[in-house]
Amino acid sequence: MTRTRIFFTTDLHGSTRCFIKFLNTPNIYGAKVLILGGDICGKSIIPIIRKPDNTWSVAFLGKSQTIKNSKKLEEIKEKISASGAYYYEADESEWEELASDQTKLQNLMIKLMRERVKEWIKLCEERLGGKDVKVFISPGNDDPYEIDDLLKSSYDNIVLGDGVVSEIDDKHELLLLGVSNKTPWNCPRDLEEDEIMARIDELVSRMKNVETSIFSIHIPPYGSGLDTAPKLDENLKPVLGPGGAPIMTACGSIAVKEAIEKYQPILGLHGHIHESRGACQIGKTICLNPGSEYAEGILRGVLVEVEDGRVRDYLFTQG
């Protein structure tokens, strides 16, 4: 009998606080397999402006504040990192120059993302490298390709990358794919539906037994209830219904839905739509989306026990 406890989380968006919690889950939940299913990079840069009088000013969480000593400066940097954002220390003129040049700003963003990914990989290796735990980390559609060269580890038990097939135990294989269908934001790993299907088909062809496998695909299956988000207009604002409520719409991937129907893995692990936390069943496949509340420092996840080619049980967590 092969029974394995998996902890799956997703969409941490740069939150170091959540990532550290993720690394602590083997001790808390007894998980032997840890999966981080994409969208690991943050979404914003918070400038910390150096003033001539040796103070700093920063606007964070809607509050402008002046920082007068280096201890407080470190505290605010930690809080920014914990929330998933990046901080950048600069004097006023440097920041103004950066802010007026989109290319420079994009380059800075990539640089900061790379630094955080490096920092996370180092943390992961220090804490879990060589241990009796397998860790799988995939980028998601929001994550730029510029981080991919960093996604390697010197430990066999830490698997990083997009488009991976790997054994989690002697009965179950994992397909790890960090893509999405086309989004209004034209994110780096947004693909056409047929391209997604082709990638899944190619990964499945590398598997020994897809029937006992687990798919960790960032985008949820279309119309599954795990993919419901506000419908957006051309200005990316929510479309409101007659009562003023946002009109909700399914925005998952048809290719993922068809792939799950076709291959019937035992488990589908998804993210992408933070507010669509839930579970559903497609044929014999149980699909789960734990949602995300990374900005609050809350690690939303789901524990799953798989046993001899079936899902024995699952339990949503928030810690």
Partner 1 sequence: MAVFPRPTSGLVKEISASSAIMYNMAAMGLPFCFIYIAWTMILFPGAYLPITAIYAIILGIVPAFVYYLMSVSMPRSGGDYVWISRIIHPSIGFMVNLALTFALLVAIGVEPSWTMQWGIAPIASTLALVTGDNSLYSLAELLASPTTIQVIGIIYFVLIAFLITRGTRTIMRTYWVLFAISMLGVLTYLIVLATTGHQVFIERFNQLSGMNYEEVLKIAQELGYPSSYDWGITTFAIIYTFLNLAGFWFTAYIGGEIKEVSKAQLIAIPGSLIALSICMFIVYYATFAVYDGIFLGSLAYLAATGHQAYKLPFDMPFPHFLISFLTDNPIAIVLVNLGFAVTPLLAGMTYIFLVIRNIFAWAFDRVIPAMFSKVHPETRSPYVASILIVILALIFQALWLYTTVFEYVLYITTIIFLAIWFASLAAIVFPFRRKDIFEASPEIVKKKVGGIPLISILGVISLAITSFIIYATLTPTYGGVLDPINLFYNMLIFPIGLAIYFIASLYRRKTGLPLELSFKEIPPY
**Binding residues among 175-234 for partner 1 as defined by CB under 8 A:** 183, 185-187, 223-225, 228-230
Pick the binder of partner 1 from 70, 167, 245, 262 (CB under 8 A): 245
Binders of partner 1 among residues 274 to 303 (CB under 8 A) are 274-276, 278-279, 291-293, 295-299, 303
Report the residue number, 175 or 269, with the smaller CB distance to partner 1.
269
- CA distances from residue 216 to 83, 182, 258, 304 in whole angstroms, order as listed: 25, 18, 15, 13
Kindly report the backbone phi and psi dihedral angles of residue 122, in degrees, each rounded to the nearest multiple of 5, phi listed first.
Answer: -60, -45
Nearest 10 degrees: Cα torsion 14, 39, 165, 308: 90
- Residue 162, helix vs strand vs coil: coil
37 binds partner 1 (CB under 8 A): no
d(CA 147, CA 254): 27
Among 49, 67, 179, 207, binds partner 1 (CB under 8 A): 49
Among 76, 123, 248, 254, binds partner 1 (CB under 8 A): 248
145-174 residues near partner 1, rule: CB under 8 A: none
- The number of beta carbons lying within 10 Å of the beta carbon of residue 130 is 11
Per-residue contact flags (x/-) with partner 1 for residues 11 to 30, judged by CB under 8 A: --x---xx-xx--xx--xxx
Of residues 102 through 141, those in contact with partner 1 by CB under 8 A are 105, 109
Cα–Cα nearest to 226, from 142, 302, 303: 302
Residues of this chain, 71-100, that bind partner 1 according to CB under 8 A: 82, 85, 95, 99
Q: What are phi and psi of 185, to 5 degrees?
A: -95, 0
Binding-site residue total for partner 1 (CB under 8 A)? 76
